[in-house]
Structure 1
Amino acid sequence: MSAVSDGPADGSAQRITSVWSARSWSRFILMIVATVFASIVYVNGAHPAWAVALTLGLAALTAVLGVVTRVVPDDRESHWLLAFGALVVLALGLVAWGGPEWAVNVAWATSAAGWSRRKHTKPLILGIGAVTGMLVLAHGADAGQTLILTAFVLLIGMFSAQARRSAELIEELRRTRRELARLAVLEERNRIARDLHDLVGHSLSVVAVKTELARRLLPIDKERTDAELKDIDATVRRALSEVRQAVTSYRQPTLAAELSSAVQAAEAAGIACTVRAPDTWDLPVPVEGLLAWTVREGITNVLRHSGASSCVITVSADPSVSVEVADDGSGAPDGGRPGNGLAGLSERARALGGSLTVGRRDGGGFLLRIEAPKETR
């Protein structure tokens, strides 16, 4: 079975994750720089020492809460809401207390709101930005300064919301890729099981028939027995070769070879086999493979289950392609329940847009028919 590898795709996802992680850290750095800038501006102002110390302490606490709201999962409702509420109060309080330069510090709150998984984060970001703008105007800032500071606060929040959405999409992509890889492995296993049944099942059926025939001939015809044993040896060697091919690659049988093999196997079992087919056919490889597998499965069921004295294999290539295996035996194998081989044929037929017909014939016996379009889907 071929290994399913998603290494390149994983590498791409990791690169995307690293890019967004770098952007996230760049926003942290930007907000830290903005906080430091606001601190420098405030310290250079005519403020009492106690006010400077209190304001810088609150600014540092705001930055710490901004980091905490990014680390603490927001699905822990009470913890996150407590930290976020304190962050909003502190950030806006600093603007009201310290002046318009502290408006940049409100970006910690809008960034936390944008990164949250909660609904209605955008209205929350817009609300915090609007309050920030009004506080800046209340301190006497002009319209241009107010617009710049408010835009900074809003953009940080919107970029954070975009980063959260991108992170969720990357995680969803990873889950989808893992599921696709699992389904690919499952399909590969089913294909191998189907092929091994088709390859080994037919050969073992021929070996069983010829072994029984050789056992009966041994007391009366040693030359015929020796010929049958040679056929058994050839069949086993061919089966071994086919299994090796199936392991290394997807082996596709040819229709002509399967028709010839079916006639030989049926005649060895004492069943008269007639083939009705056009002299030549030009079919796509998948379609010819489907017909070949059908002949193999059909003659295997005739040998194993039918108890028939004759069978007819009919191949048609115009207007649609079909193959039909009909016998005059006792009816459907296994009491009419489809086995693994028929289930495999049905899967192959559906994959090519074809259909499988199987069941008892009106005149007695069993019928297996596959029909498919000439051009594959």
Structure 2
Amino acid sequence: MTTAGTDHETRQAEPAGSSGMEDESRIARIWSARDRSRSLLLVAATVWASAAQAAGGAPLWLTVSAIVLGILICVLGLMVRLTTEPRAWWPRFAVLVAATLLLTVVAGPPWAVTTAWATTAAGWGPVRRARPYIAGLGLSAGLLAFAGGADAGLALVLCGFVTLVGVFALQARRAAELMTELRETKQALARLAVVEERNRIARDLHDLVGHSLSVVAVKTELARRLLPIDAGRTDGELKDIDAIVRRALSEVRQAVTGYRQPALAAELSSAVQAALAAGVHCEISCPDSWELPVAVEGLLAWTVREGITNVLRHSGGSRCWITVTEGAVEIADDGTAVRIDEDRPGNGLTGLSERARALGGSLSAGRREVGGFRLRVEVPR
């Protein structure tokens, strides 16, 4: 049954993960297509400037030189766009800016559109504050076009085109950065989920296997002593051991899938039986009934299990007391053995402390003034 449940969870999880990956891939393709569209738009603008240059009646040498320089600006603009290392980016960007502005001054106002290559590079480049560069380049392109003989309307259009292309590039870069941050965040959350699941399984296996093995050890020792005296009672103890082992196996399987939550009443009953088998008198003090959240009841049940396990393993005492109140449980004994190093608590107490903190509660453990040991877990209501 556990395997089937796990397979079902796996089948449910796979489509969700695949859907997330497909969404990211689709978004990446969209932004890549937009990036290519911007590059094609800039190439088209450069071609328009070349056509305007050819139709303007300028000398042939100036027309050819301007078109060649325009092609070089396209190539340099693509190179700067693909450059990510700041040390290599800044010199190339400076050359690109100088080339576009110089071409506008020498060849005429239509070439102001090539300044958009520079604003695009500023938007995508490793510049902390790209907007002043984009605004400055857009304004420079408009002013140079107006000074070169373009009317105010054309100069304004060229200024707006150059500026908007840079702004769109800046927005695309920030969107790409957000996508990268989102992907890294999802990966970090996935790693944290794996770590949390491992910690949960470690705590559960300790609580389950540690308690069960302690009871098995006590009953095995008792059966060994009874074997020469009372074969019938020995057989009963062996049956109890078999039942405990089977229950532990079932709980371990359930712990892997996360469906198990111990019941406080069942743990109290189990504690009394385990203590009785070990020759320890156990007194229970608890309300006739209680209404606790599932997580709180589970924590108190784990505390009872860990506490009685420590009594059987380490106390060396003959009596123990378990007191349950609303949102708290305390296990005390009259043993004399020292069972905890205050600086290095055991795995079980560490796990309980983590569970208690997760619910806003606290754990305290230590020697009693009247002798013995006390473990208390309390969760505020």
TM-score (norm 2): 0.92
Query: Any idea what the Cα deviations from partners look like across 1:230-251, whole Å, max 9, x if unmatched?
Result: 1111111111111111123331
1:86 pairs, out of 86, 95, 107, with 95
Aligned to 1:352: 359
How big is each residue's C-alpha offset from its partner over 1:1-40, in whole Å with a ceiling of 9 and x where there is no partner? Answer: 9878754444433333333222221211111111111111
Structure 1 position 172, deviation (Å): 1.8
1:44 to 46, 49, 55: 55
SS of residue matched to 1:73? coil
Partner residue, 1:237 = 246
Aligned runs of 1:127-166 on 2, under 5 Å? Answer: 127-166=136-175
Partner of 2:263: 254
> 1:185 aligns to what?
194
Greater relative CO, 1 or 2 (CA 8 Å, sep 6+): 1
Q: Secondary structure at the match of 1:141?
A: coil
In structure 1, the partner of 2:125 is: 116
Q: CA deviation at 1:226?
A: 1.4
Could you tell me how far apart the structure 2 residues matched to 1:8 and 1:292 are?
40
Contact 2:89 2:125 in 1 (8 A): no
Q: Which runs of 5+ in 1 are unaligned?
A: none
**Paired residues, what number?**
369
Q: Which residue of 1 is the match for residue 177 of structure 2? A: 168
The aligned amino acid for 2:375 is: L
CA distance in 1, matches of 2:197, 2:185: 18
Equivalent residue for 2:66, pick from 55, 71, 83:
55
1:321-363 residue CA offsets vs partner (Å, 9 max, x unmatched): 1111111111441455421111111111111111111111111
Tell me which residue corresponds to 2:329: 323
> Given the alignment of the two structures, is residue 304 of structure 1 paired with residue 317 of structure 2, yes or no?
no
* More deviation, 258-267/167-176: 167-176
Greater displacement, 42-51 / 24-33: 42-51
Aligned match of 2:3: none
Say whether the 8 Å CA contact 2:321–2:331 is kept in structure 1: yes
| Match in the other structure for 2:30 | 19
Given that 1:263 and 1:273 are in contact with CA atoms closer than 8 Å, whether structure 2 keeps it comes out as yes
SS of the counterpart of 1:264? helix
The equivalent residue for 2:80 is 69
Separation in 1, partners of 2:61, 2:195 = 70
Q: How does 1:287-298 map to 2 (within 5 A)?
A: 287-298=296-307
Would you say the 8 A contact 1:332–1:359 is kept in 2?
no
Percent identity between matched residues is 60
Match of 1:214 among 209, 216, 223: 223
CA 1:241 to 1:119, structure 2 compared with 1: closer, same or farther past 3 Å?
Answer: closer
Mapped to 2, the partners of 1:206 and 1:261 lie a distance apart of 10
**Amino acid across the alignment from 1:302:** V
Shift of 1:214: 1.1
Residue 73 of structure 1 and its aligned partner are, at CA, apart by 2.1
Q: Which moved more, 1:95-104 or 1:14-23?
A: 14-23
Give the 3 Å change call, closer, same or farther, for CA 33–96 of structure 1 in structure 2.
same
Secondary structure at the aligned position of 1:329 is classed as: coil
* Letter of the 2:225 counterpart: R
**1:305–1:334: 8 Å Cα contact kept in structure 2?**
no
User: In the TM superposition, what is the alpha-carbon distance from 1:277 to its structure 2 partner?
Assistant: 1.0
| In 2: Cα distance, 1:213 partner to 1:103 partner | 97
Q: 2:289 aligns with which of 270, 275, 280?
A: 280
> Which structure 2 segments of 5+ residues have no match?
1-5
- Structure 2 distance, partners of 1:329, 1:293, is 21
User: 1:47 deviation in Å?
Assistant: 2.1
Name 1:367's counterpart in structure 2. Answer: 374
The answer on whether the counterparts of 2:135 and 2:163 sit within 8 Å (CA) in structure 1 is yes
Residue 355 of structure 1 aligns with an amino acid whose one-letter code is S
Distance of 1:340 and 1:250 partners within structure 2: 22
Task: Give deviations 1:294-341, integer Å, cap 9, x for gaps.
Answer: 110000000000011011111112xxx111111111144145542111
SS at match of 2:328: strand
Cα deviation, 1:87-135, whole Å, max 9, x if unaligned, reads 1122112211221111111101111122111234222222222221221
Q: Which residue of 2 is the match for residue 333 of structure 1?
A: 339
Counterpart-to-counterpart distance in 1, 2:77 and 2:303: 68
Q: Partner residue of 1:343?
A: 350
Deviations 1:134-186 (A, max 9, x none): 21111222221111111111111121122222222221222222111111110
